[in-house]
Structure 1
Amino acid sequence: MAETSEIRNVGLIGHVGTGKTSFADAILFNAGQNTRLGKVDNETSLMDNEPEEIKRKTTISSAIANFFWKNKLINLIDTPGSANYIADSKNCMQGIDAALIVLDSIDGVKIQSDKLIKQAKELNLPMAVFINKLEREHSNYKAVIANLDKSFPAKPVLIQMPIGEETSFKGVVDLLEEKAYIFEQNESGKFSVQDVPADLKADADSLREQSLESIVECDDEVLEKYLEGQTLTSEEIQKALKAGIAKCQIVPVLFGSALKNIGVVQALDFINNYLPSPVERGEIKALSQDGSEIQIKPSATEPLAALVFKTVIDPYAGQLTIMRVFSGKVTPDSVIYNATKKSKERIGQILHLVGKKHEAVTQALAGDIIAVPKLKETQTGDSFSDEKKAVTIPTVKMPAPVISFAIKAKNKGDEEKIHAGLKKLMEEDPTIHLTRDAQTKEMILSGMGQVHVDVTIEKLKRKFGTEVLLEAPKIPYKETISGSTKVQGKYKKQSGGKGQYGDCWIELHPLEKGKGFEFVDNIVGGSIPRQYIPAVENGIREAMNEGVLAGCPAVDIKVVLYDGSYHPVDSSEMAFKVAGSMAFKKGYLQANPILLEPIMHVEITVPEQNIGDVMGDLNSRRGRMLGIDAEGKTQTVKAEIPMAEMLQYAAVLNSMTSGAGVFVMEFSHYEEVPAHLAAKIIELNKKDHKEED
């Protein structure tokens, strides 16, 4: 078992399609975890092994590999790059000590990479860059490098330079050690160490000097020696580089090809030698029981502090809880305290993972990442600690869903199975939301995009043997009035024997937005006996809930009951309830009723070249622009847009921006529907209600 100082927790982060999983597979092959070079395209990847991932040839769920490289324990996390799964990536970033940003040599930093880089900055994570796919036609690493400054909070510093381009790419120059690594062209990862090629020497020397100027600034002693013109030793350069990375002052840049297995071993050595251990990363923030902030020291002798950053439903092991141990230690066959749930959990086995492979370990010390099977109450985001010194570790905020569907069971009687299955999937993925719309009576499944929902439905069928039908959800329109009126509601029924009689006069007035319903009893002189007044209110409330204009709930209305009459024999609560309902419905139509629709606050981030198309499209969706923020090569549009116009927006934005655009939205408020649209909606709603009846 590795000591805390010998652990490296590294996440592969970046936009979809940059080759993160191929890079992870190449790392595992070189580290002896696979007898062949796993590849996504031929379905031999160790990391992408879910059927939904294999089908789409893209990472859907983060995968963890615990392995040793030259006596260091590397806990590697391959994270998804799609906006559909950004929450998984963000959660995993809470468990690592450094982010290795994987970029491709053509596109460089795209929007999703940019968002994840910002998240890494918020978490104060040291970062490094691996520019991948240098073997590709049209690769242009120089253009990628030229734009790195715009995306990273610290200065990018070249540690290597490529040897050759496109199909002639064959190795890398280590600028600091002034060595060339020339690889065999057979994907074996074997290489020879040579002098820097003569035709690259001048460029290598120039780049080395530029890099040294940035590196030495990270250590005062080394800087002083450098400024005095003294020759720096390799150890001094390494010391300054390591300090600069740990303090987030520089972002080292490496090169390679995951598919050709070039530069991967050098990246592994770089992880070992330069990325921080948990000890070098230092203390982390936690919250004590009284809410005060405290520091957690990364030591096995300290009280336990651990964070669950992922949950996996494994077909063989059941639920696997993935946690980072920040301090203390965890051992098998023990009981630990869930400080979030304020409950105890029994630990059976402790596992290390490499994709689907599980290996039991005897203990997990501070800094380690482990999987624990079959915990009963623990969920993603929970903290474990010493019960007597309970602490919780703050977690990242989950993004709100951006797409929703109404779901129905394909096979009658499957409703309970669907709910149980989705509940399990929600434990694995907290960005899946299942709610019941109280107004429309629909079950609503929400997610981060069309792909996210599609994959969820596929998993539901594969893991739980049940299918659902997806439909566009009904928009939860509401109604209100814009004018005032006075009206009578009189219910009189006589057919022999005891009759029914209820008579009331009411005023209707509009209220401010969000005020709901106000009922005022202004009856004087006993025109309506006290025992019947609640019945009038109940009749009005029922009529409001059913709606009058379009069958949608009525809101923000004040009703004043000011007069009426009764019959000593025929009056009853039921009669006055009917009279109240009649009065409201009659007066409602006289008080200028209007239809209201939900308005969403939307923020859309796109490459700057797409901003014109996006704004034009939003105008066609009745959007109201609130502002535009520019940052680097992206622009973020903030707008208010009717929910009805956003139901299929994820697919539209994906098409407009070739998959580069992302958006978030949340409910803002209700507004009046324009008259020409309201008439159509009212007609459709009335038709739907007739069919339901």
Structure 2
Amino acid sequence: MEIGRIRNVAFISHGGAGKTSLAEAILFNAGAVSRIGSVENGTSFMDFDPVEIKRKLSIHSKVSSIEWSKHLINIVDTPGYSNFLHETKAAVTAVGGAVVIASAITGVKAETQRVWQYADENDLAKIVFVNKMDKDRADFFRALGDIEKSFNVIPLPIFIPIGKEDDFKGIIDLVKMKAYIYPAEPTAQFRIEEIPAEYAAEAERYRGKLLEAVSETDDALIEKFLEGEELTDEEIEKGLREGTIRKQFIPVLCGSAVKNIGSKLLLEAIIKYLPSPLEREYKIAKNIDTGEDFVAVPDEAEFSAFVFKTFIDPFAGKLSLIRIFSGEMKSDSEVYNTEKEEKERIAQLYLLQGKNHIKIDKAVAGQIVMVNKLKYTDTFDTLCSGRKKVVFPKPELNEPVLAYSIVPKSKDDEDKVSSGLHRLMEEDMGIRVERNEQTGQQLLKGMGQMHIEVVAERLQNKFGVQVELKTPKVPYMETIRSKAKGQGKYKKQSGGRGQYGDVWIEIEPMPRGSGFEFANNIVGGAVPKNYIPAVEKGIYEASREGILAGFPLVDFRVSLYDGSYHSVDSSEMAFKIAGSMAFKKVAAECKPVLLEPIMNLDVFVPDDTTGAVIGDLNSRRGRIANVEPQANGQHIRAEVPMAEVLAYAPDLRSMTGGHGIFTMEFSRYDEVPTHLMEKIIEEQTGA
């Protein structure tokens, strides 16, 4: 395949706009499938994961390679729901253009704005397809205004609709100035007719805007336009391509995915107006041996590629989706993984069409291929020839914002759960799994409630294990505010050799974050040296159980300064118990208090919801540190107790209509207010 005849495009938008339905129609039009799959009916070729079928939404990015007009088009269908946008952010690193699907009903939503930003970060040329023109309340021109307002761009219609809602029956081509009339059946075939008289004035008006925008892409064209000469179809299309790739404007199409109206015209527009790999700004990698930049020129002989997605198949094993940026890749060959410093064997290359795999022997720069069962390679690894050891930059994904404790329903499944989560983490870069040493809970972290629920469902579907999701415990701690002294004496006589240990200790507070410190101040051998480590161990173990509510005590110093022993009855165990007894007695006199984790919160919200979000943070005992203007909104920095933001993600989404996002990280521990401390102690102890 010639590199200039390749197009790599991501379908991006908010969830429910119809990306997958549009991809289904295109697969059918290209002859890749014999029928149009349906997301609603569970017959989609693209959304084939059981959880996707059940929930009727995309949770992974999928690739379909089709041939159209002697071109190879790789379509990457991406998720649009906020919980899965990390998939979209990874996918756009593999393409050169984007088709933004806008709903004629709802226009632009928060998720569309987010993925548009991802496309901008990767310097992608874009075209817009206004979908669902056949649905109730569909309005093409309202969607057009929404696009212009939301993204501060010039949306340039190259097609406008004939009718809308139930009356939507065709499209007017503003380049050729013809009407395309579609039948009721979703065949994508159409009749070419003259523009209906009632649409003639509107078509002329929008064609005038089109010609004006196109003429500005070239001095010769603007001169011709100003002199009143007619631009040819070829000149218009050339100007459209130049302006789209240079991002002077955004061509806008329209149609209906489920009725297969406009999908063939979209394919032609992808070929005509979106860049080939030769025209896209070349990917920059770093040569780790020399420290110099490596420019991955598509027709460069040196092989380089990037793994942007991994799937785990119970039967086929690990499946790696790879975008080749330079050189070529062959089946039955060897490549070098720069990240792992290991050679990998490429047994077989595949093209993808949804869930179908097509064997190929060779792929060139610009292509997206799949390889199975790579031994060392993970998502975001770089593959190269090894002659020049290069690494492509990895996309910066947001950290997970919600955590649940994950518990297997059967204790026998603990190992299966751990193994299954590890495998799922290989294909989902938005998951984190960690064990909280303090609470003992295994925490599953994800991008939202739905994301975590999907992981639990996939554990059951793929690995046959059922789990419960529980709100995680807050890892409270305890500390002291004053010092005290006291004795711990353990004496036991029950016939034969007894047990005897006697210690005097002083406990005092230390600065926050100091942990635990033990000082041996014994003089004169009051406690033999060989028993002192046992005393320290007894004190430390007792401190882990706390004084107030069973939470670990931190930030204190214990000084062992006196004691006594028995030449026969004393032992390490006796002194360990004595140390524990002394700690419990003395620490209770040191004014113990509860500490809670405080989180740094960075919240990004639209201007019109800033007040509501700040008020909500104040109600959560938050401290607002700063509010700074940013593009399309405000950046709020705050400190909030972890207990108040365990389920913040859905609340923020509700307050901001889905437009708010946040990141969160641990800051420090602070004292819990007295009225809340009493409640927590009561909950923990039942007292």
Give the TM-score normalised by structure 2: 0.92
- Which one of the candidate residues 488, 491, 516 is aligned to 2:489? 491
Show the counterpart of 1:452. Answer: 451
> In 2, Cα distance between the equivalents of 1:638 and 1:215?
44
Higher mean alpha-carbon deviation, 119-128 vs 167-176, is at 167-176
In the TM superposition, what whole-angstrom CA distance separates every residue of 1:429-451 from its partner, at most 9, and x where no partner exists? Answer: 12222221111112222222222
Show the counterpart of 2:437. Answer: 438
Matches within 5 A, 1:681-692: 681-687=680-686
Show the counterpart of 1:30. Answer: 29
Q: For 1:511, give the aligned amino acid.
A: P
Give yes or no for contact 1:480–1:510 (8 Å, CA) kept in 2: no
1:492 Cα offset (Å): 4.6
1:192 Cα offset (Å): 2.2
Give yes or no for contact 2:507–2:556 (8 Å, CA) kept in 1: no
Structure-2 change in CA distance of 1:196 and 1:315 (3 Å):
farther
Matches within 5 A, 1:224-235: 225-226=224-225, 231-235=230-234
In the TM superposition, what whole-angstrom CA distance separates every residue of 1:63-121 from its partner, at most 9, and x where no partner exists? Answer: 21011011100000111111111111111111111111111012211111111111111
Q: For 2:297, give the aligned amino acid.
A: P
> In 1, Cα distance between the equivalents of 2:635 and 2:113?
13
Q: For 1:362, give the aligned amino acid.
A: D
Show the counterpart of 1:511. Answer: 511
SS in 1 for 2:136: coil
SS in 1 for 2:279: helix
Structure-2 change in CA distance of 1:154 and 1:340 (3 Å):
farther
> In 2, Cα distance between the equivalents of 1:204 and 1:603?
47
Show the counterpart of 2:332. Answer: 333
Show the counterpart of 1:372. Answer: 371
> In 2, Cα distance between the equivalents of 1:362 and 1:674?
67
Show the counterpart of 2:155. Answer: 156
SS in 1 for 2:180: strand
Show the counterpart of 1:308. Answer: 307
> In 1, Cα distance between the equivalents of 2:249 and 2:207?
15
Structure 2 unaligned segments of length 5 or more: list them: none
In the TM superposition, what whole-angstrom CA distance separates every residue of 1:607-648 from its partner, at most 9, and x where no partner exists? Answer: 666666655554443333445566677666554333223334
Show the counterpart of 1:264. Answer: 263
Higher mean alpha-carbon deviation, 591-600 vs 657-666, is at 657-666
> In 2, Cα distance between the equivalents of 1:497 and 1:52?
66
SS in 2 for 1:161: strand
In the TM superposition, what whole-angstrom CA distance separates every residue of 1:202-256 from its partner, at most 9, and x where no partner exists? Answer: 3223223323333343445544554566544433333332222223332222111
Show the counterpart of 1:248. Answer: 247
In the TM superposition, what whole-angstrom CA distance separates every residue of 1:369-389 from its partner, at most 9, and x where no partner exists? Answer: 011111122111111012121
In the TM superposition, what whole-angstrom CA distance separates every residue of 1:328-348 from its partner, at most 9, and x where no partner exists? Answer: 111111111111111111111
SS in 1 for 2:115: helix
Matches within 5 A, 1:51-450: 51-152=50-151, 154-223=153-222, 225-226=224-225, 231-290=230-289, 292=291, 294-450=293-449
1:545 Cα offset (Å): 2.2
1:543 Cα offset (Å): 2.7
Higher mean alpha-carbon deviation, 311-320 vs 376-385, is at 311-320
> In 1, Cα distance between the equivalents of 2:138 and 2:530?
83
SS in 1 for 2:117: helix
Higher mean alpha-carbon deviation, 153-162 vs 260-269, is at 153-162
Higher mean alpha-carbon deviation, 262-271 vs 414-423, is at 414-423
Structure-2 change in CA distance of 1:51 and 1:507 (3 Å):
closer
Give yes or no for contact 1:306–1:325 (8 Å, CA) kept in 2: yes
SS in 2 for 1:677: helix
> In 2, Cα distance between the equivalents of 1:550 and 1:290?
55
Higher mean alpha-carbon deviation, 441-450 vs 191-200, is at 191-200
Show the counterpart of 2:551. Answer: 552
Show the counterpart of 1:501. Answer: 501
Q: For 1:43, give the aligned amino acid.
A: G
Give yes or no for contact 1:162–1:171 (8 Å, CA) kept in 2: yes
Higher mean alpha-carbon deviation, 664-673 vs 98-107, is at 664-673
> In 2, Cα distance between the equivalents of 1:182 and 1:517?
79
SS in 2 for 1:587: helix
Higher mean alpha-carbon deviation, 10-19 vs 605-614, is at 605-614
Higher mean alpha-carbon deviation, 516-525 vs 240-249, is at 516-525
Q: For 2:488, give the aligned amino acid.
A: K
> In 1, Cα distance between the equivalents of 2:45 and 2:194?
35
SS in 2 for 1:188: coil
Q: For 2:672, give the aligned amino acid.
A: V
Give yes or no for contact 1:400–1:666 (8 Å, CA) kept in 2: no
> In 2, Cα distance between the equivalents of 1:515 and 1:278?
56
> In 1, Cα distance between the equivalents of 2:686 and 2:397?
39
Q: For 1:491, give the aligned amino acid.
A: K
Structure-2 change in CA distance of 1:567 and 1:421 (3 Å):
closer
In the TM superposition, what whole-angstrom CA distance separates every residue of 1:152-171 from its partner, at most 9, and x where no partner exists? Answer: 36433222222222222222
Structure-2 change in CA distance of 1:36 and 1:576 (3 Å):
same
SS in 2 for 1:243: helix
Give yes or no for contact 2:331–2:347 (8 Å, CA) kept in 1: yes
Matches within 5 A, 1:611-690: 614-615=613-614, 617-626=616-625, 638-653=637-652, 662-687=661-686
> In 1, Cα distance between the equivalents of 2:500 and 2:649?
56
Structure 1 unaligned segments of length 5 or more: list them: 689-693
Over the aligned positions, Cα root-mean-square deviation in angstroms equals 2.8
> In 1, Cα distance between the equivalents of 2:606 and 2:180?
37
Q: For 1:394, give the aligned amino acid.
A: P
Q: For 1:509, give the aligned amino acid.
A: P
Structure-2 change in CA distance of 1:455 and 1:501 (3 Å):
closer
Higher mean alpha-carbon deviation, 652-661 vs 411-420, is at 652-661
> In 1, Cα distance between the equivalents of 2:200 and 2:675?
72
Structure-2 change in CA distance of 1:66 and 1:381 (3 Å):
same
> In 2, Cα distance between the equivalents of 1:581 and 1:455?
46
Q: For 1:501, give the aligned amino acid.
A: G
Show the counterpart of 1:691. Answer: none
> In 1, Cα distance between the equivalents of 2:222 and 2:559?
80
Give yes or no for contact 2:507–2:587 (8 Å, CA) kept in 1: no
In the TM superposition, what whole-angstrom CA distance separates every residue of 1:549-604 from its partner, at most 9, and x where no partner exists? Answer: 2211122234445x324447366554554444344333332232211122333445
1:34 Cα offset (Å): 2.2
> In 2, Cα distance between the equivalents of 1:341 and 1:256?
46
> In 2, Cα distance between the equivalents of 1:418 and 1:386?
37
Structure-2 change in CA distance of 1:171 and 1:640 (3 Å):
farther
> In 2, Cα distance between the equivalents of 1:676 and 1:381?
49
> In 1, Cα distance between the equivalents of 2:509 and 2:442?
34
> Percent same amino acid at aligned positions?
45
1:313 Cα offset (Å): 2.1
> In 2, Cα distance between the equivalents of 1:147 and 1:630?
22
> In 2, Cα distance between the equivalents of 1:225 and 1:393?
44
Give the TM-score normalised by structure 1: 0.91
